[in-house]
Amino acid sequence: VDYRSVTRAAIPTIGAYELLTKPGVWKADAATTSWTTGTNWVSGTVPSPTGGVSIFIPENTVNVPVVSTTVTVGRFVNATTQPIVVNSGVTLTLRGELIQHATPGVLNATNATLRFAGTEPQSIGGIVNVNNLQVDNVAGVGISSGVVNLFGRYTPINGTLTANGRLLFVSNANGTASVATGLGTISGNVITQRFIPAKAARKSIFVGSPVTARIDTSWQRQIHITGAIGTCPAVSSNGFDVTLTGNPSMFTYTHANPSGQRWVKINNTNLTSLTPTSGYRLLVRGNRSAGCTLLDGSAQAATAVTLQAIGVLAQGDIAEGLVEGFNFIANPYQSPINFDNVASDNSTNIDASYWTYNPENNNGVFSVYNAGVLTNKPAGYTNDNIIATGQAFFVRKSTAGGASVTNFFRESHKSTTAQPGLFRTQNWLGMTRVALRANDDAHIDEAVVRFGNQQGVSNTAEGTYDALNISEGTEGISSQKAGNRYSIQTRRGVTTADTVSLHVVS
């Protein structure tokens, strides 16, 4: 068997790689791991960084090379059991296959970029840990074995990446991997994650999924999803984890229902699938590995949870059906989106506001966004217009009747910014935040009143820059205008005295 695992009819009299004296053959007895040292290569010459030379690392190599500089190679074959490291900031471009013969072979590029830019079909084998992955090959790239763990961004420049259930979008405390816009696509199943930080109190979150996947084979494998009476650890016929009370922990929203009945528990977990654009209210008690103690009401230490689902990614422009009133939807993409762009492109159908829930809020107190301002947000939170991957939120259709919008979500709505620092273009003449606090100074709710002379701003009628208060808690604060309560109210620039009424529930 030669170095490419090809069985020969006769036993060779020399090692298969001994005849390979091209620049791309690494010495088995290389003195160091330096890619740029000529004596570490069989030919005595460092391969051209732009020449597309195929790289072969022999099976019995002691010091495997570290890819320390940006290079373009042909095929890359690692016949050793040692991991290959691509240094931080380096781009490794491949025009051929990535082959790792070890079980499993590992390539670590967690702070680097891998770019597949061949003209014939390419394949990826082994375990690949990578920050940024790019495909620019109209003939396509397939993940044939192992798994690609993506920590940063996938850029579909051109062609199709066939994932085969082997592409994992990692989500952790440092961030969530994303898919950028491009001319290419991803086919087949992928693995998506949504990191949920540890919380001292058990509270619901607003969450969505970028893939279609059955609930019991996705999120329910990481957390308990309850809704039937019984004794833990039994599971009911409709898939729920049972509890003594049977209280449900996963809901959708139906605006047409009477007030107080709009949160609707899911019917089952073994027949119902998560769907992109659908918002879910989900109680996360902790990782289900903690067992039945999470369901008996006893105090438990807070632990982080990573929800995971396997399915086909939502891609391209995506339709959404809207009803008159509030619609509970979710970011459908494996990418953050810019809500300002969503609202602008759908201005005939929805208000320029979104409502979501921050688990730091009191129960029933919403965080409300409008034109660059978000109420009840965590300390240090910026980029208020960015909707995170996997986040659900409300939008309001204030005009009469329903609507089916074929391109409600668009690829152009994706954002490359998931962290603080996005520039904001909206400027206001003045702004006042009025906070409601408990006796111990704990934050409960807040209302924002701001002033500007933009078109449509009115002191007597609801306008584009007003956002209704829909909080359901027993404590809250809002401002009043035109008979309605607002979390964010915008008024004309003050030239004389102005009076704003507040509505306080305590």
Q: What are the pLDDT tens digits along the chain (506 aa)? A: 444 444 555 555 444 444 445 789 999 999 999 999 999 999 999 999 999 999 999 999 999 999 999 999 999 999 999 999 999 999 999 999 999 987 778 999 999 999 999 999 999 999 999 999 999 999 999 999 999 999 999 999 999 999 999 999 999 988 899 999 999 999 999 999 999 887 756 778 999 999 999 999 999 999 999 999 999 999 999 999 999 999 999 999 999 999 999 999 999 999 999 999 999 999 999 899 999 999 987 777 778 899 999 999 999 999 999 999 999 999 999 999 999 999 999 999 999 999 998 887 778 888 999 999 999 887 677 889 999 999 999 999 999 999 999 999 999 999 997 643 222 344 566 788 899 988 888 889 999 998 887 777 899 999 989 999 999 888 999 999 999 999 999 998 766 678 999 999 98
How many other β-carbons are positioned within 10 Å of the β-carbon of residue 347? 11
pLDDT at 426: 45
DSSP secondary structure, 91-107, as one string: EEEESS-EEE-STT-EE
What are the backbone angles phi and psi of residue 404, rounded to the nearest 5°?
Answer: -115, 115
Q: What is the rounded CA–CA span in Å between residue 200 and residue 270?
A: 30
291 bridge partner residues: none
Question: Which residue shows structure tokens 């039937």?
Answer: 228
One-letter amino acid for residue 445 of the chain: D
How many other β-carbons are positioned within 10 Å of the β-carbon of residue 303? 16
pLDDT at 472: 82
Under 8 Å between Cβ of 365 and 376: yes
Q: What is the rounded CA–CA span in Å between residue 219 and residue 205?
A: 13
pLDDT at 75: 97
Q: Which of 435, 414, 455 is nearest to 502 (CA)?
A: 435
Under 8 Å between Cβ of 102 and 80: yes
Question: Which residue shows structure tokens 């919380």?
Answer: 199
User: Sign of torsion, CA 233 237 241 243?
Assistant: negative
How many other β-carbons are positioned within 10 Å of the β-carbon of residue 313? 25
Q: Please report, for residues 91, 262, 335, 464, the alpha-carbon distance to residue 178 in angstroms, rounded to integers and kept in the order given.
A: 18, 32, 5, 31
Structure tokens at 172: 């952790």
Share in percent of the chain as helix, strand, coil (round to 5):
5, 40, 55
Q: What is the rounded CA–CA span in Å between residue 69 and residue 91?
A: 8
DSSP 2: -
pLDDT at 38: 96
pLDDT at 5: 46
Q: What is the rounded CA–CA span in Å between residue 479 and residue 481?
A: 7
pLDDT at 498: 86
Q: What is the rounded CA–CA span in Å between residue 117 and residue 332?
A: 28
Structure tokens at 303: 């632990």
Distance from chain centroid for Cα 23:
41
Q: Please report, for residues 343, 456, 463, 479, 494, the alpha-carbon distance to residue 460 in angstroms, rounded to integers and kept in the order given.
A: 23, 11, 9, 13, 14
Q: What is the rounded CA–CA span in Å between residue 415 and residue 412?
A: 8
Structure tokens at 330: 């979710």
pLDDT at 432: 87
CA atoms within 13 A on the CB side of 81: 2
pLDDT at 164: 98
One-letter amino acid for residue 408 of the chain: F
pLDDT at 10: 54
